C-alpha cells in the first residue's frame, strides 16, 4: 500500500483491563504487571492515515486482551537529515505511494 | 484416542518426527480411561457444559489415571517405538500452575492455566527426549486441579514459542458446511475463524478447541491445527505436506 518505512521498538507495558488478565507466553498477568510488547511508529500523509489504521487492525487483531491501541499523533514537520528536505518531499520515500501512483498514471 | 492401533500409529509418527530433528512435546488427557475407572469405583462420571465435574474423589481418580496409567503407557509406547520419553504432569518442576475456573462452584477442581514454567522441558528436548505431559496441575497451595488437555497444550506451546500447535481429534477438522464432509476448511486466519464461530458454523465441542487455538496464536505460536486423528499418519501429513490433514489456523 505504499508504506516504505517503519520504526519498531521492543518495549514493556500494561493497560487496565477491568479486572481481566492478559496472557503472555502461556501465563496470566494481572493489570499491574509489565509485559513485553512491540511499539510501531509510522509517519504518513494525512490522507493515508485511515488506510494504514484499517490495515493494522486487519492484520493485528486477535480478539484477545493485549491487541493494543493505535494513537494518531499530528506531526508538525518531517526533515530528512541527509539532504535537509522538509515537509512533503521529506516524507516521500522511493517506491512509496507517490511513486506507485505516478506509475499507474503513466500506464494508459 | 480409543483404538490401540491408532495410538500406536500416532506414537510411531511422533518418534519419526523426533528422529528427523523436530522437537515434539506430547500433551494428553484421558477421558475414556477416567470414566472407566470412576465406574469401577461405583462413581458416575458427570459433565457440565462439556467439562468434567471434578469433586475430591474424582480429582484423585483423574490424577491417578492420567499421571499413573495413561502417561506411563504413552511413555512406554514411545520407548518401544525407538524414542525415549520422559513422563511429566503439570506439577513436575511447576510446569503448569493452575487456578480454579470461574465456574468452580459447579465444576469443582477444574483448573485454568495461571502460569507456565517451561524450564524443565528445555533440557529434556535438548537431550533428544520426548516430554509426555499429563494435564494435571496444582495451584499455589498444592491443591490438585484437572486441566483441559487442549488448553494445557495451547499454553505450553505459547510458553515454549512453539512453531506449531496440533490438536488431534476424532473429526475431520472444521467444515464450512456441517452437512458436507467435502467442505473441509484447510487454512484460515484468526478473523476468519472468529467469523465462522459468530455465524454458528463452528459448534459444540469444536468451539473450545478453536478458542484454545486462537489464544495460542495470539501469544505467538505460528500455526494451530485441528487434525483428524483417525486418519493414519495424520500427524505426518499435517507437518510434512502442504495439504495437511485437517484445518490449520494461522496468526
Interface test with B, best of A23, A26, A67, A68 (most B CBs within 10 A): A26
CB contact under 8 Å between B214 and A62, yes or no, is yes
Nearest to B199 by CA among B213, B186, B212, B185: B185
Select from B158, B214, B251 the Cβ nearest to the Cβ of A26.
B158
- pLDDT of chain A, 108 residues: tens digit per residue: 778 888 999 999 887 777 778 888 888 888 778 888 999 999 888 888 999 999 999 888 988 888 889 999 999 999 999 999 888 888 888 777 777 777 666 655
In chain B, residues with a C-beta closer than 8 Å to the C-beta of A29 are none
Residues of A in contact with B156 (CB under 8 A): 26
Integer Cα distance of A27 and A33 in angstroms: 12
Q: Identify all chain A residues contacting B161, using CB atoms and an 8 Å cutoff.
A: 25
Question: H-type helices in B31-178, by residue range?
Answer: 31-40, 56-63, 71-80, 104-107, 121-126, 149-160
Residue B54 clears pLDDT 90, i.e. is over it: yes
For residue A103, CA distances in Å to A100, B98, B247 come to 5, 58, 40
- Nearest CA-CA partner of B112 in B53, B72, B152: B152
Assign B7 a pLDDT band (cuts: 50, 70, 90). confident
C-alpha atoms less than 13 angstroms from C-alpha of A76 in its C-beta half-sphere: 0
Helix (H) or strand (E) holding B68: none
3-state class of B63 per DSSP? helix
Q: Is the pLDDT of residue B93 over 90?
A: yes
Minimum distance, in Å, between the CA of residue A67 and any CA atom of chain B: 8
With CB atoms and an 8 Å threshold, state whether A23 touches B220.
no
Closest CA to B193 of B240, B123, B251: B251
Residue B133 DSSP label: E
Shortest distance between the Cα of B121 and any Cα of chain A, in A, equals 14
Q: Residue B137 pLDDT more than 60?
A: yes
Q: Read off the pLDDT of residues B163-216 as tens digits, 9 standing for 90 and up.
A: 999 999 888 889 888 888 888 899 999 999 999 998 988 877 888 899 999 999
SS3 A57: helix
Q: What is the mean pLDDT of residues B34-46?
A: 93
pLDDT of residue B178: 80
Contact criterion met (CB below 8 Å) for B218 and B156: no
Which of B115, B219, B224 is most worth mutating to test chain A (most A CB atoms within 10 A of its CB)? B219
Query: Is pLDDT at B1 greater than 60 in this prediction?
Result: no
Is-contact B97 B52, C-beta < 8 A?
no
What is residue A106's predicted lDDT score, i.e. its pLDDT? Answer: 63
pLDDT at B100 over 90: yes
**ipTM of the modeled complex:** 0.75
Give the distance from residue A40's alpha carbon to the nearest chain B alpha carbon, in angstroms. Answer: 17
B159: chain A residues, CB-CB within 8 Å: 25-27
pLDDT of residue B2: 63
Set of chain A residues whose Cβ sits within 8 Å of the Cβ of B160:
26
Q: What sign for the dihedral angle of Cα B124, B126, B132, B134? A: positive
pTM of the model: 0.88
What pLDDT score was predicted for residue B80? 95
Nearest-neighbour CA in chain A from B173: distance (Å) = 21
Amino acid at each position: 500500500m505504499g508504506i516504505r518505512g517503519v520504526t519498531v521498538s521492543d518495549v514493556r507495558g500494561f493497560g487496565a483491563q477491568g479486572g481481566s488478565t492478559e496472557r503472555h507466553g502461556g501465563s496470566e498477568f494481572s493489570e499491574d504487571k509489565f509485559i513485553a510488547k512491540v511499539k510501531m511508529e509510522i509517519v504518513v500523509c494525512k490522507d493515508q492515515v485511515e488506510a494504514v489504521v484499517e490495515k493494522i487492525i486487519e492484520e493485528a487483531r486477535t480478539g484477545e486482551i493485549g491487541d493494543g491501541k493505535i494513537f494518531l499523533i499530528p506531526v508538525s514537520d518531517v526533515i530528512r537529515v541527509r539532504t535537509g528536505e522538509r515537509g512533503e518531499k521529506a516524507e516521500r520515500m522511493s517506491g512509496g505511494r507517490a511513486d506507485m501512483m505516478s506509475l499507474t498514471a503513466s500506464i494508459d | 484416542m480409543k483404538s490401540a492401533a491408532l495410538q500406536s500409529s500416532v506414537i510411531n509418527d511422533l518418534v519419526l518426527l523426533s528422529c528427523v530433528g523436530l522437537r515434539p512435546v506430547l500433551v494428553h488427557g484421558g477421558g475414556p480411561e477416567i470414566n472407566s475407572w470412576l465406574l469401577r469405583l461405583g462413581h458416575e462420571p458427570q459433565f457440565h457444559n462439556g467439562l468434567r465435574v471434578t469433586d475430591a474423589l474424582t480429582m484423585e481418580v483423574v490424577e491417578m489415571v492420567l499421571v499413573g496409567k495413561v502417561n506411563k503407557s504413552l511413555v512406554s509406547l514411545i520407548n518401544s517405538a525407538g524414542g525415549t520419553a520422559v513422563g511429566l504432569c503439570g506439577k513436575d518442576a511447576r510446569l503448569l500452575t493452575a487456578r480454579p475456573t470461574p465456574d468452580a462452584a459447579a465444576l469443582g477442581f477444574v483448573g485454568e492455566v495461571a502460569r507456565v514454567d517451561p524450564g524443565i522441558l528445555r533440557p529434556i528436548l535438548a537431550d533428544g527426549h520426548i516430554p509426555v505431559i499429563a494435564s494435571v496441575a496444582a495451584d499455589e497451595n498444592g491443591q490438585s486441579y484437572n486441566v483441559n488437555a487442549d488448553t494445557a497444550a495451547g499454553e505450553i506451546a505459547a510458553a515454549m514459542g512453539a512453531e506449531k500447535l496440533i490438536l488431534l481429534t476424532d473429526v475431520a477438522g472444521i467444515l464450512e458446511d456441517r452437512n458436507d464432509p467435502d467442505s473441509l476448511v484447510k487454512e484460515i486466519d484468526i478473523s476468519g475463524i472468529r467469523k465462522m464461530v459468530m455465524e454458528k458454523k463452528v459448534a459444540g465441542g469444536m468451539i473450545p478447541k478453536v478458542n484454545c487455538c486462537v489464544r495460542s496464536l495470539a501469544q505467538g505460536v505460528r500455526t494451530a491445527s485441528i487434525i483428524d486423528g483417525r486418519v493414519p499418519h495424520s500427524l505426518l501429513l499435517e507437518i510434512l505436506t502442504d495439504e495437511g490433514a485437517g484445518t490449520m489456523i494461522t496468526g
